[in-house]
Amino acid sequence: MSGGSDEGPRRVGRPRADRLRAPSGRPPREELLCAAAELFTVRGYAATTTRAVAERAGMRQATMYHYFGGKEELLAELLESTVAPSLALSRRLLAETGRPAARRLWELCRSDVLLLCGGPHHLGALYLLPELHRPRLEPFRRMRDELRAHYRALLDAIPPGAEPAADGAALALRGDLIFGLVEGVMLVRRCDPARPVAALAEAAADAALRIAGAAPAR
Amino acid sequence: MSGGSDEGPRRVGRPRADRLRAPSGRPPREELLCAAAELFTVRGYAATTTRAVAERAGMRQATMYHYFGGKEELLAELLESTVAPSLALSRRLLAETGRPAARRLWELCRSDVLLLCGGPHHLGALYLLPELHRPRLEPFRRMRDELRAHYRALLDAIPPGAEPAADGAALALRGDLIFGLVEGVMLVRRCDPARPVAALAEAAADAALRIAGAAPAR
């Protein structure tokens, strides 16, 4: 955690042995993504060189370039992995029109929190990088927009309860707040990494239904 | 936005004229904080040098060191500015025991969202920096913990409504989710900077009361 800029100007010499990781048995591509996830989240994206990623994964930089075009490609792939499973789930849930929408929204929220907070690395920290606007990250941004639209669609499908129905603008805002809550849980969890994720995920899903104006589905 | 690492190794020569800002009339300390806020959020913290901050503020690096001990001190001060006003407000609100707690919690949420999303720079982006665990940022972390405790205390003070009272653990979790929602709004806003902050802040405060199990205070 200390230092952080010691990889800055490229140095000549052998990689330090303590930086090399024992072979994990993982395929090289996966090993590189793991190394990048660790370094980007612990040391920071800007402060991490592709050389440091390669070393951490136990391979030479030239070998790394065989698998990834560069640092931005590693970042893009990591970011997409934080959305792709939730997007696949939300597509399935949207199609299950025979089941109550509140229950489906609850499941999406719970699963999304588990995905965002559950992995070994705090990939959500990458959501606030200034690099997020770069063209290479357009697919990630599109996937996240689509997921957000699915949150809204599930919310729209919840029949109005005892309270008066909200208008379109209010509903859109509420959908975005639920989306913000789910992503905001990452910020809570970061302060308190010992907190069990399962309870947090269910509480967040309950809270989302409260925002939706539907009774918690449990 | 492009480039970003062009400040890396220190270069010799005159600062480029287009980097120098016209004197704004602000005191130098404030000018430096403004410059740091812009560069840290647009270019990234790790990629910004103290020299770049000084140049952006239209002064020499040596002059900057007269006001700030270094980059981490600039970061600490910026982060503290995202919490201090909300903390002052939450202390006042906690003392106003004659007013309904739900209304006070609503006011805190609204004001906190306005603070987090309202400034010219997206300072909330700094909340996920890996550098946040450094000792120099301990005062910020303590202030944020205290603010979180005040959210919980206001939530605890809301009398249970029609629904059965939640136990202590459930209440603590709910308090943290409200805190997460308020901070999470930054992530929503970032995708959609055109959205008016005032409406978002009131909608977030309404949503917080829904999570609390209290009817929106408006």
The answer to whether the Cβ–Cβ distance between B203 and A148 falls below 8 Å is: no
Q: Can you tell me which residue has the tokens 């959205």?
A: B195
Q: What is the DSSP string of A136-154?
A: GGHHHHHHHHHHHHHHHHH
For the segment A83-99, the average pLDDT, to the nearest whole number, is 97
Among B3-12, B177-186, B205-214, the least confident range: B3-12
Cα angle, residue B42 at apex, residues B40 and B43 outer, rounded to 5°:
70
The pLDDT of residue B13 is above 60: no
- Whether A176 contacts chain B with CB within 8 A: yes
- The residue among A158, A170, A160, A206 whose CA lies nearest residue B213 is A206
Tens of pLDDT, residues B69-80 = 999 999 999 999
Say how many C-beta atoms besides its own lie within 10 A of residue A121's C-beta: 17
Taking Cα atoms as reference points, which of A54, A194, A80 lies closest to residue A132?
A80
pLDDT at A195 over 80: no
The H-or-E segment that residue A156 falls in is helix A138-156
Q: State both tokens at A151.
A: 């949150």
Question: Which pLDDT belongs to residue A103?
Answer: 96
Question: Does the model's ipTM exceed the 0.95 cut?
Answer: no
CB of A104 less than 8 A from some CB of B = no
To test the contact with chain A by mutation, choose from B158, B211, B218 the residue with the greatest count of A C-beta atoms within 10 A, namely B211
CA distance A7 to A39: 11
Which parts of B97-209 are beta strand (E)?
Answer: none
The pLDDT of residue B205 is 96
Query: Contacts from B71-77 at CB under 8 Å and sequence distance 24+?
Result: B71/B36, B71/B45, B72/B131, B72/B134, B72/B136, B72/B137, B73/B136, B74/B32, B74/B33, B74/B36, B74/B40, B74/B50, B75/B36, B75/B40, B75/B45, B75/B126, B75/B129, B75/B131, B75/B137, B76/B136, B76/B137, B76/B139, B76/B140, B77/B33
Supply the pLDDT for residue B6: 40
B-chain residue closest to A206, CA distance: B211
**DSSP-derived secondary structure letter, B135:** G
Asked if B187 is an interface residue toward chain A (Cβ–Cβ < 8 A), one would say: yes
A-chain residues near B134 (CB < 8 A):
1
> pLDDT tens digits for B80-124?
999 999 999 999 999 999 999 999 999 999 999 999 988 888 888
Task: Enumerate residues 105 to 164 of chain A having a beta carbon within 8 A of any beta carbon in chain B.
Answer: 124-131, 133-134, 141, 144-145, 148
Q: Scan for tokens 């980007």, then name that residue.
A: A40
Taking one residue from A and the other from B, the number of pairs with CB-CB distance under 8 angstroms is: 134
Number of Cβ within 10 Å of residue A211's Cβ equals 25
Please give the residue that has the higher pLDDT: either B109 or B166: B109
Kindly determine whether residue A9 and residue B4, on different chains, have CB atoms separated by under 8 Å. Answer: no
Flag whether residue B87 sits within 8 Å of chain A, measured between CB atoms: no
Q: Which pair of tokens denotes residue B121?
A: 């720079």
pTM comes to 0.83
Whether residue B218 is predicted with pLDDT greater than 50 in this model: the reply is: no
**Contact between chains at A203 and B177 (C-beta distance less than 8 A):** yes
Q: Does A43 touch chain B (CB under 8 A)?
A: yes
Lowest mean pLDDT among A78-82, A92-96, A111-115, B167-171: B167-171
From A200's Cα to the closest Cα of chain B, the distance in A is: 7
C-alpha triplet A7, A71, A9: angle, nearest 5°: 25
